[in-house]
């Protein structure tokens, strides 16, 4: 049975009022070997970006230079068995008051769409997600919802979902950079960063699939 590691993060916000972002992006980075990601970040800290990252406990795209972001995207191109899924939510198309009023349900809803687009059979998944859902009840609610939607299109799979802070897993820092890069494209019409990627990518809007 295959084994895949998945790292999920988002860019944009869950707000639906004035001043909020127009889009919410979820990214899921799928890799065969998480040690490759850890090694890249360790080398960045020790060598090329030692000065910039000296005081940073983790790499966050919105606090990093363009050089750091482009470097990480290009390093992903060197890894085999790597794929990224994006889910794009245009918040102007949210017509459900239920989702507008409950940010946790809205996040789960979008994450469920992400899970449905991941098509793997006979695979064990280890899924890591940023610890944005503070209490255990919300984490368990997310886990159940995501796993149920993942199994809709994936046969014979098993998955383990863990929540932790981004600095704990290098893969989450890459997922943050990927979500941010896709957010630049949709929010600001800036494709410079996503165009650096050569790995397999799948971009889906919540109500429309982009080919």
Instruction: Report whether 10 contacts 146 (CB < 8 A).
Output: no
Q: Is 123 helix (H, G, I), strand (E, B) or coil?
A: strand
Bridge partners, residue 127, by sequence: 6, 161
93 in Cβ contact with 25 (< 8 Å): no
- Predicted confidence band of residue 2 (pLDDT cuts 50, 70, 90): confident
Q: Is the residue at 211 inside a domain? A: no
Return the HEC string of 40-59.
HHHHHHHCCCHHHHCCCCCC
158 alpha carbon, distance to own chain's centre = 20
> Is 108 within the bounds of a domain?
yes
Angle at 21 between CA 15 and CA 26, to 5 degrees: 85
Average pLDDT in the 6-24 region? 92
- As a whole number, the mean pLDDT across the chain is 90
pLDDT in tens, 73-100: 999 999 998 999 999 999 998 888 888 8
- Domain hosting residue 179, numbered range: 2-205
Give pLDDT tens digits for 135-149: 777 889 999 999 998
Q: Is residue 197 part of a domain?
A: yes
Residues 6+ apart with CB under 8 A from 70: 193, 196
**Separation between Cα atoms, residue 125 and residue 46, nearest integer Å:** 31
First to last CA, the chain: 30
pLDDT at 209: 47
**φ and ψ of 24, to 5 deg:** -120, 130
Whether 78 is covered by a domain: the verdict is yes
Helix axes 34-46, 170-188, angle to 10 degrees: 80
CATH number, domain of 76, equals: 3.30.420.10
Confirm whether 210 is domain-assigned.
no
pLDDT per residue as tens digits for the range 30-54? 999 999 999 999 999 999 999 999 9
Structurally, how many domains does the chain consist of? 1
Range in 16-20, 63-67, 111-115, 185-189 the model is least confident about? 16-20
């Amino acid at each position: 049975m295959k084994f895949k590691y998945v790292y999920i993060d988002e860019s944009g916000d869950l707000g639906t009022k004035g001043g909020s972002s127009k889009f919410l992006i979820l990214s899921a980075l799928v890799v065969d070997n998480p040690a490759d990601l850890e090694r890249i970040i360790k080398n960045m800290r020790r060598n090329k970006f030692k000065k910039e990252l000296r005081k940073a406990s983790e790499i966050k795209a919105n606090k990093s230079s363009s050089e750091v972001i482009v470097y990480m995207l290009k390093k992903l191109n060197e890894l085999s068995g790597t794929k990224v899924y994006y889910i794009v939510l245009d918040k102007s198309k949210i017509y459900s008051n239920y989702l507008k009023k409950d940010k946790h349900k809205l996040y789960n809803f979008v994450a469920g769409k992400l899970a449905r687009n991941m098509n793997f059979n006979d695979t064990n998944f280890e899924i890591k997600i940023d610890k944005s859902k503070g209490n255990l009840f919300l984490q368990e609610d997310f886990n159940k919802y995501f796993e149920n939607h993942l199994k809709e299109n994936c046969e014979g799979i098993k998955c383990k979902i863990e929540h932790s802070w981004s600095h704990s897993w290098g893969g989450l820092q890459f997922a943050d950079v990927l979500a941010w890069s896709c957010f630049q494209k949709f929010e600001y019409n800036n494709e410079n960063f996503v165009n650096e990627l050569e790995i397999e990518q799948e971009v889906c809007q919540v109500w429309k699939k982009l080919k």
